[in-house]
Amino acid sequence: MTEGNGAVQFSAVRLDAAGPSHPLSHLLPALPALIPVLVLLLGLDVFCLVSLVRARSVRNAPKLAWAIVILFVSAPLGAILYLFFGMDRSGGETQARPPRPAPSPTPIDPVRRVARPIGAAPPAVTTTGLTRDYGGTGLFDVDLAVPRGSIYGLVGPNGAGKTTLLSIIAGTRHADRGSVSLAVDRRRVAVCPDVPEFDGWLTAAEVVDLAGSLVAPAGHGPAEVAAALRTVGLADAASRRVSGLSRGMLQRLGLACALVGDPQLLILDEPTSALDPAGRADMLGLVAAMRGTRTVIFSSHILADVQRVADQVGILRDGRLLYEGGTRELMDTYLTPSWLVRVADGLDAVAAALAGQPWVTTVEPAEPDELKVAATSIAAGERGIPAVIAGCGARQVSCEPAAADLESAFLALTGAGEPAGLTEGARP
């Protein structure tokens, strides 16, 4: 018994010699599962500290006090307190450095606008000080006013900010600061992106029906779907699957999806970019037919398209609105008046005499018997050209104004030599 007792006692002594287990030893098996949580808490603290350093201002306490709260109050309570009570959530306040001003292409007058008659309907879309800064690019203080029922063409080089502006108006992107005011029901706003994408296994009719169920669940049916497809020229492709449609047909299908809800405001981003010349003509005719019944804003880098259908135009460059107003007013204001002069004989003498006049800016040969004459004003040209021709004893055949185009007005407005990313029409 003694040995047994001693054995028992020895065994007990060995157990005591091992000592009690560490208080955290039971947590060791769970440590791998705790690592993501610890990383998340650490990341939250780091995010708050970076935000605190970058912020121009904070709320309810000085920056130093919030740094102490984030670092020394037990995680994640300190970070949460800063997020809810310290972070300044006013748009455009947190950034590492002041935004670099977008380069101005050339000194110009303030944005020109057509005065709205007293009592006229308010604009369908108004933006005030709209800014979205991507570090020197984006939009900067854009004040836009789109008349109700107008076809508004938004033009500018690639990267001018057209898509950003349309996305903010549509509500799919937020501005750093500024505001957007819509005088139409937000539920009656439709958007067609420049590259519409749909599930390839759906038919064209199913795509439009799905769009209608999302925007007008109680106001659409087979008749509305068929009408939308017929409007965009896809009636014969209603049963074709999206995967078998061409790029141009997808563009039309995107427009059909936008039209099925009968929108009051239609926003089109590059609606003719994927269409051939015939398709472009059809699309522009469709857009022009909406004048007075819907407000349409469409962007394009094809100036001839804008000139063809838009009654109002906004010109963006480097994120800034350079001009807003009527298309005709733009050309009348920023184009130098010029005439094509044709005489039966003595062309060289007439050219030399015109070049010596103080009101003539340029004299260039246009055809073998024709001159292009630019003057400082319309009145000076209309009075002076016939007088110079008569003074030379030449016989005038014709004298007519040279055709003005939006591209020339754009170049004159921006002071650019070649509008990068802009074309007169579709080019192969």
Answer yes or no: are the C-beta atoms of 171 and 203 closer than 8 Å.
no
Residue 400, pLDDT score: 84
Q: Residue 147: count other Cβ atoms within 10 Å of its Cβ.
A: 19
Token couple for 342:
């044709």
- pLDDT at res. 29: 66
Digits of tens for pLDDT over the chain (428 positions)? 445 444 444 444 444 444 455 555 565 566 666 677 777 777 777 787 778 777 766 777 777 787 787 777 777 777 777 777 777 654 433 344 444 444 443 333 445 444 444 345 679 999 999 999 988 888 999 999 999 999 999 988 888 899 999 999 999 999 999 999 999 988 899 999 888 899 999 999 999 999 988 887 666 788 999 999 999 989 999 999 999 998 889 989 999 999 998 999 999 998 887 778 888 888 888 899 899 899 999 998 878 888 888 989 999 988 999 999 888 788 777 777 888 999 988 888 999 999 999 999 999 988 888 899 988 887 888 889 999 999 998 888 888 877 667 777 777 776 654 444 454 444 33
Cβ(426)–Cβ(159) below 8 Å: no
What tens digit of pLDDT does each residue of 312-354 get?
999 998 899 999 988 878 877 777 788 899 998 888 899 999 9
User: And the tokens for 13?
Assistant: 């002594």
Reported pTM: 0.61
Distance CA 212, CA 236 (A): 19
DSSP, residue by residue, 109-174: PSPP-PPPPTTPPPPSEEEEEEEEESSS-EEEEEEEEE-TT-EEEEE--TTSSHHHHHHHHHTSS-
C-alpha closest to that of 151 among 382, 309, 369, 261: 309
pLDDT of the residue at 73: 75
Question: Cα dihedral sign for 422, 424, 426, 428?
Answer: negative
- Measured from the Cβ of residue 198, the count of other Cβ atoms closer than 10 Å reads 21
Alpha-carbon dihedral 23, 28, 32, 36, rounded to 10 degrees: 0
Domains of the chain, earliest start first? 30-97 (no CATH), 125-331 (3.40.50.300), 336-403 (3.30.70.100)
The end-to-end CA distance of the chain, in Å, is 108
Q: Say what the pLDDT of residue 254 is.
A: 93
211, 215, 302: which is closest to 253 by C-alpha?
211
Neighbours of 371 (CB within 10 A): 23
β-strands 151-155, 312-317 pairing: parallel
Residue 43 has a pLDDT of 76
pLDDT of residue 21: 54
